[in-house]
A and B are shown apart, each in its own frame.
Chain A
């Protein structure tokens, strides 16, 4: 997906103005997920689980070479063909080969953020392959030609009415068809696709190094079909998705499910061990593509690497009051919300992603929700600091902060500002504040200072009798 992160502030404002239904739908859905998460966290010793998960991830990430090698060996032993992709080019090359070799005309695809990152769908379409997203939400946005709006619930920004209209136009269902009827239609279309596709594509929630096991979590059962019916299965796995041992799944599967949707476990968990053996059913050929796409560089960044612990559970999106206003589209990249704001600068470069670290009030709700304790606010501060160092802050901001620092650095100037707030004209030096004050007042009415500032009142109460 091409990044449009630079346009975040404008897109956010536009969406709030032009599509108020998005705010309503997203707020409703995220609050629902958030309540579920809180309930599910309440059932366990969450702090201990999170701390354990954080440690396991940190261990893998700090010994990534070792575990990648181990995983590669085990996958091969399991009969999987392993590939390494630095970025989209290698991933595309591999797909081209598979498509050509097997004469693929049709592919079914499980929801995967990494394949969004790599632009897998456009590539396949350019090769003349029909691609079916098999996750219902992902299928809806595919029909609309939109990118996902949420890591876990790609279509949470849509209202039922919009979906009804979409299906009415596409499949001729009644304009007020109930959700069950819509699901019926999607099921019919997808079932046909499953039975005829030559290629199944998925991501992976986890890859267990010691056994070469791919773990996939879902609630609809379609991933299972995508990875078992077509004769070829290709899984794209970010190198940060590794876990050391099979038993780690016992922690990570339920923790991820609790964080994401408040479930104790997702409805379906698939553990894949390579192609079908003699007498088994399943794909004849399995490929695992280990994808870097900026992750190694991020891992080497001492101030920003912790973001790689991310499980893509979406809990931080659900908890984020900023995300709730707009959903994911204005962020302009696959990863939106708090995690996007600290991951996108690492993957795209800060210049591309500049406004995203500012898409937060630093309220900390994301960190509180995160199952692997990623210190998102601290990472936001780091990226902001770098943005300023690299000269990316707009001129008005630099001016305002500069004036602010001069004023606050000098009690005399501060007292002057204090007078100015109470009606005296603002001295030249401080006029840079005016646009900021004006912008503030636009949505909130004029600022009304206390009749006299405290530092003046203090002179009166300084000697006031003690004892109340």
Chain B
């Protein structure tokens, strides 16, 4: 089985090691991994802000870049949802968009639903983990049980978190257009954060926003993308 990784711009720039982790994990599970080097961004920031012309051009790029792929896997729920749910809306009637949509998965979703893997190893034994449900993974992709299952089966202690399913306030351009509200939302999220060793999520954007806010407030919880933790689950490092 061959998988083309769509790392997406934020993970590429800010959580590069999560990409490496995803590659190693998939290879360890017997999957061949490609990284089409012409890829850039899925276009979501432009799309969500209403600039559909720009978003459409980027969607078309992605169609080209991933045309040959058997599966496309993203270590990001919101970008996966962009490809899966919004490309077909943005390019109505485009068979390529439909085809890409159908073969695109968020990483944990791919592991559980396509590979049928529910347990990666026990590398997270005893680790106290807080999981933030990125909104688009949760409500647009329906990815909820998969990451929890994989973390739990790797021995992690998933901490109950009142605000686990609440939006962190990132929202792409929202964080710049309405900065005060965005920060206020992050503060609500962080004020309820349980005493975790590590805070994780599928979404680089959410993590960047929350980690940045924690840095500003002087809170020192480790923030790691889900892909990184899943690799740790498998390889037992950390």
Q: Which residues of A contact B (CB under 8 A)?
A: 9, 12-13, 16-17, 23, 27, 321-322, 324-326, 357-365, 367-368, 381, 383-388, 393, 397-398, 401-402, 404-405, 407-411, 414, 418, 421, 436, 439-445, 447-458, 461-462, 464, 466-468
> Can you add 5 more A-B contacts, CB < 8 Å, to A365-B166, A405-B58?
A13-B179, A321-B185, A322-B167, A401-B49, A441-B212
* Complex: A444 Cα to B180 Cα, angstroms: 11
Say yes or no for B164: interface residue by CB 8 A criterion. no
Contact A458 B37 (CB under 8 A): yes
Contact B58 A458 (CB under 8 A): no
0/1 string, B161-172, CB within 8 A of A gives 1: 000001101111
Contact A440 B184 (CB under 8 A): no
Contact A384 B181 (CB under 8 A): no
* Complex: A143 Cα to B105 Cα, angstroms: 55
Contact A401 B54 (CB under 8 A): yes
Contact B46 A461 (CB under 8 A): no
A380 → B minimal CB distance (Å): 9
Say yes or no for B148: interface residue by CB 8 A criterion. no
0/1 string, B125-160, CB within 8 A of A gives 1: 000000000011011100000000000000000000
A146 → B minimal CB distance (Å): 20
If the complex has contacts A388-B49, A462-B35, A466-B27, are A448 and B14 also in contact, measured as CB distance less than 8 A?
yes
Closest to B23 in A: A461
Contact B171 A450 (CB under 8 A): no
Contact B16 A361 (CB under 8 A): no
Q: 8 A-B pairs, CB-CB below 8 angstroms? A: A322-B181, A360-B174, A361-B135, A361-B167, A388-B51, A448-B14, A452-B16, A454-B19
Contact residue among A13, A408, A418 (Cβ-Cβ distance under 8 Å from B43):
A408
* Complex: A441 Cα to B57 Cα, angstroms: 29
A-side contacts of B183, CB under 8 Å: 443-444
Q: Which residues of B contact A (CB under 8 A)?
A: 7, 9, 11-17, 19-20, 23-24, 27-28, 32, 35, 37-41, 43, 45-52, 54, 57-58, 61, 135-136, 138-140, 166-167, 169-185, 188, 208-209, 212-213, 215-216, 234-235
B218 → A minimal CB distance (Å): 10
B115 → A minimal CB distance (Å): 14
Contact A468 B28 (CB under 8 A): yes
* Complex: A368 Cα to B135 Cα, angstroms: 11
B214 → A minimal CB distance (Å): 9
If the complex has contacts A321-B188, A408-B40, A442-B179, are A384 and B16 also in contact, measured as CB distance less than 8 A?
no
B-side contacts of A466, CB under 8 Å: 27, 32
B-side contacts of A388, CB under 8 Å: 49-52
B-side contacts of A442, CB under 8 Å: 179
If the complex has contacts A16-B180, A457-B20, are A404 and B45 also in contact, measured as CB distance less than 8 A?
yes
A-side contacts of B178, CB under 8 Å: 9, 12-13, 322, 358-359
Contact A367 B139 (CB under 8 A): yes
Contact residue among B13, B46, B209 (Cβ-Cβ distance under 8 Å from A401):
B46
Closest to A330 in B: B181
B-side contacts of A383, CB under 8 Å: 50
B40 → A minimal CB distance (Å): 4
If the complex has contacts A439-B179, A468-B234, are A325 and B184 also in contact, measured as CB distance less than 8 A?
yes
Closest to A466 in B: B27
* Complex: A368 Cα to B167 Cα, angstroms: 13
A170 → B minimal CB distance (Å): 32
A-side contacts of B43, CB under 8 Å: 408
B-side contacts of A17, CB under 8 Å: 180
Please name the 8 residue pairs, one residue from A and one from B, whose CB atoms are nearest each other, closest first: A444-B212, A361-B171, A384-B50, A468-B28, A454-B19, A364-B139, A405-B54, A363-B135
* Complex: A303 Cα to B175 Cα, angstroms: 27
Contact residue among A324, A386, A447 (Cβ-Cβ distance under 8 Å from B188):
A324
Contact A402 B171 (CB under 8 A): no
* Complex: A385 Cα to B51 Cα, angstroms: 6
Contact residue among A12, A360, A381 (Cβ-Cβ distance under 8 Å from B171):
A360
A-side contacts of B7, CB under 8 Å: 454-455
B-side contacts of A456, CB under 8 Å: 16
Contact residue among A361, A398, A439, A445 (Cβ-Cβ distance under 8 Å from B170):
A361
If the complex has contacts A324-B188, A381-B48, A405-B57, are A467 and B27 also in contact, measured as CB distance less than 8 A?
yes
Contact B54 A404 (CB under 8 A): yes
Contact A444 B46 (CB under 8 A): no
Closest to B25 in A: A468
* Complex: A313 Cα to B151 Cα, angstroms: 38
B-side contacts of A454, CB under 8 Å: 7, 11-12, 16, 19-20, 35
Contact residue among A27, A361, A381 (Cβ-Cβ distance under 8 Å from B169):
A361
Contact residue among A367, A409, A440 (Cβ-Cβ distance under 8 Å from B58):
A409
* Complex: A456 Cα to B58 Cα, angstroms: 22
